Structure 1
């Protein structure tokens, strides 16, 4: 790396040149170069032969002509000239490129602003998407609102459930292809001992029915994934016979079934119920009916009006008091009436006890007051009260014969769509678990499935 002369050395030379001659200048120059070379080589004194001439020095020395002679010839301060020589002019080529780039940027900006103003081209900011995205992006389409819940074990309280289930579209025509379904609502204590018979009854009719199970809260149904009852249990509470908690369980079943917009008819059955016909016959019979099948008759005896409490006035007058079977079939309109009721429920809960058996009076009375013209005033579930007692007869293995089912159907007459009909019952109860095997044996020939 070149070594520059000390400032004081250059000053001496400069002063000398102002007053001396050229020969003397050359001698002084040689002396200074020798001294500087010795200093650069790290040798004190001037004994080193290699430093006697700067051309042989190990460290190259700047040419004195570059440092002194030219500036001295011009009569200028050498220190100023040296500093000035170190600065270089800005390259003209680079300046030209910078000006060209600046011109292009200005032109592009002008064209972009004109295009946005003239054609409405969105800016880059308008297309930027937020960096945060939810874990799942559910499309906000109609399917989101009409799709039934995938998990029946929700966390809603009864008040929330009834409120949600009471939503009713004000436009009657559906904007999508809707296949009306029957909701089979099983009000049970626990297991379904006749599940195999229902499996056979429902097989091949997927999309035309739905199932809901309300057992005791301590019971956990364990059906295989292939079963129609798999994961069809709803959140439940204790239901006691003859008390308002029984009606609460029924309302809970109806409300959960209403969450499926395709459910059009609602059938309440128990674990001891069986179908008396194949699915197609029952489906057509229910769907074509103009009325809902719920018993609601005026019983003037001690088990009818005798259970009425005068404190139910003015909401319920004694002439409006009705009695009927617990097991009903209703359409969607009446199902909404049941879950949205806040007028009659408090009265029945407070005054229909202890021997009132509220499950036999609450729904028949309320629906008679609200929509008597929609009731067939009969039930679709056959039971046998001939043996007497507080509960109907239970049938086991020995009772399941062809003659037994003939007695259920023969000699029956009822009104169906304002006309006489011999088909009056679609379901029957009560059947013990021991009846399952003979029922499966005769179901194809007797029941049609």
Structure 2
């Protein structure tokens, strides 16, 4: 009887090993933040291939007869509260822009708030989450949809539901196409690219020490605003990329969650490495980081909305004044509409 005990013990131990591997992940806390589902990644890859092939084919064709357009890419997970203000901004210029919306499918949208320019402009979307590469995927989806939709889309402006215009459409268009005869391969992208930032190393190792190597050495790692205006060739470069994406698609370590802002690094790093001279290194979207909390910028309330605030937000140390600004609370719509015609949209 006793002689069989070691055998039984060994057998039980052997049988328990699979159970440990099955139960442990359900008991122990995850080591990484949530990853992008494989099915979502496969869908995106097919979409990006179509957009890349379509754009490559269009390069061999004569330029489209219509004037170049701005593609406005709205990335949102809540109501588009400022649609009435944007509608005034777009008024009379519908031959010069296209609009695309990526709405998190887990969000509930009040469709009664949508104005005509926004109706029917939703693209197939996937779930997004702050601090994860899903925000990068959503922006790439918007770029791909706009590339496929209209070869006249020459610039691609990423906008959030909290963004508002600071100038008229006429000024925005003139800013981007300041040299209308400039060939498309020489148009610059308005994207912030910063090489030196105090916490850059912490962000670089958010997925683990040395994980970004060899594709992205630390000296090539960049940071910048999530919101940009890309020239068409750079939009194509983004949806075509596989090399850097295989690093950025990996979720950050849970222990380094406070340093995980992939959407602020992927686009500036990629374009800095591929065509730094073709980018302005500054954004056209103004954000106020004074008193930021939890990585969120200052949220303007209705009591702060004045003509002086708009004029202040326009000011920039770069070549051009800011065209857009964030982050505004939905309650700001009424005071913004009061000064829309007299201040914001007045040339």
Q: Which category of TM-score, normalised to the shorter sequence, fits these structures?
A: 0.7 to 0.9
Deviation per residue, 1:319-347 (Å, 9 max, x gap): 10100000011011000111111101011
User: Is the partner of 1:294 in helix, strand or coil?
Assistant: strand
Post-superposition CA distance 1:151-181 (Å, at most 9, x none): xxxxx93222111111213746625413211
Change (3 A) 1:285 1:404: same
Distance 1:399 1:433 in 2: 13
Q: Please report the RMSD computed on the Cα atoms of aligned residues, expressed in angstroms.
A: 2.1
1:255–1:339 Cα contact (<8 Å) kept: yes
The answer as to whether partners of 2:80 and 2:114 remain within 8 angstroms in 1 is no
- Residue among 237, 255, 258 paired with 2:147: 258
1:11 is matched with which residue?
none
Render the CA deviation track for 1:369-395: whole Å, top value 9, x for unaligned: 111111100111001111232211111
> Does the 8 Å contact 1:183/1:209 carry over to 2?
yes
Answer whether contact 2:168 2:345 (CA < 8 A) is retained: yes
Deviation at 1:226, TM superposition (A): 6.8
User: Does structure 1 residue 291 correspond to structure 2 residue 170?
Assistant: no
Provide the C-alpha distance between the structure 2 equivalents of 1:235 and 1:171, rounded to a whole number of angstroms: 26
| Cα distance change, pair 225–408 in 1 and its aligned pair in 2 (3 A) | closer
Which of 306, 328, 337 is the aligned partner of 1:440? 337
**How far did 1:191 drift?**
1.6
Runs of 5+ in structure 2 lacking a partner?
1-41, 180-186
Show the counterpart of 1:278.
Answer: 168
Partner of 1:163 in structure 2?
49
Q: Distance in 2 between matches of 1:376 and 1:342?
A: 24
Structure 1, unaligned runs of 5 or more: 1-155, 416-422
Report the CA distance between 1:249 and its aligned residue: 0.6
Alpha carbons of 1:208 and 1:198: their partners in 2 closer, same or farther (altered >3 Å)? same
Deviation at 1:348, TM superposition (A): 1.5
Q: Who is 1:308 aligned against?
A: 204
| Partner of residue 14, structure 2 | none
Aligned to 1:414, the other structure's residue is in SS state coil
| 1:193 Cα deviation from its structure 2 partner | 0.5
| Contact 1:308-1:352 within 8 A present in 2 as well | no
Over 3 Å counting, the alpha-carbon distance change for 1:214 and 1:176 in structure 2 is closer
Structure showing greater radius of gyration is: 1
* 2:246 is equivalent to residue 346 of structure 1: yes
Contact 1:327-1:379 within 8 A present in 2 as well: yes
Which among 233, 245, 260 is matched to residue 134 of structure 2?
245
SS in 2 for 1:311: coil
| Aligned counterpart, 2:75 | 187
- Report which structure shows greater RCO (CA 8 Å, sep ≥6): 2
Distance in 2 between residues matched to 1:224 and 1:328, nearest whole Å: 25
Q: Deviations over 1:93-124 (max 9, x none)?
A: xxxxxxxxxxxxxxxxxxxxxxxxxxxxxxxx
TM superposition shift of 1:397? 1.4
Q: CA deviation at 1:222?
A: 2.9
Counterpart position of 1:320: 220
Cα shift at 1:356? 2.5
TM-score normalised over the length of structure 1 = 0.60
> Do 2:195 and 2:223's aligned partners in 1 also have CA atoms closer than 8 Å?
yes
In 2, are the aligned partners of 1:244 and 1:358 still within 8 Å (CA)? yes
The counterpart of 1:200, out of the listed 47, 72, 88, is 88
Shift of 1:221: 6.4
Residue-pair matches, total: 285
For residues 173 and 346 of structure 1, what CA distance do their matches in structure 2 show?
A: 32
Counterpart Cα distance in 1 of 2:64 and 2:228: 29
Q: Does the Cα contact within 8 Å between 1:311 and 1:351 map onto a contact in 2?
A: no
Task: Work out the CA distance in 1 between the residues paired with 2:311 and 2:237.
Answer: 37
Among 399, 424, 431, which residue is 2:304 paired with?
Answer: 399
Please give the alpha-carbon distance, in whole angstroms, between the structure 2 residues aligned to 1:229 and 1:221. 12
1:365 matched to 2:269: yes
Alpha-carbon spacing, 1:191–1:258, altered in 2? closer, same or farther (3 Å):
same
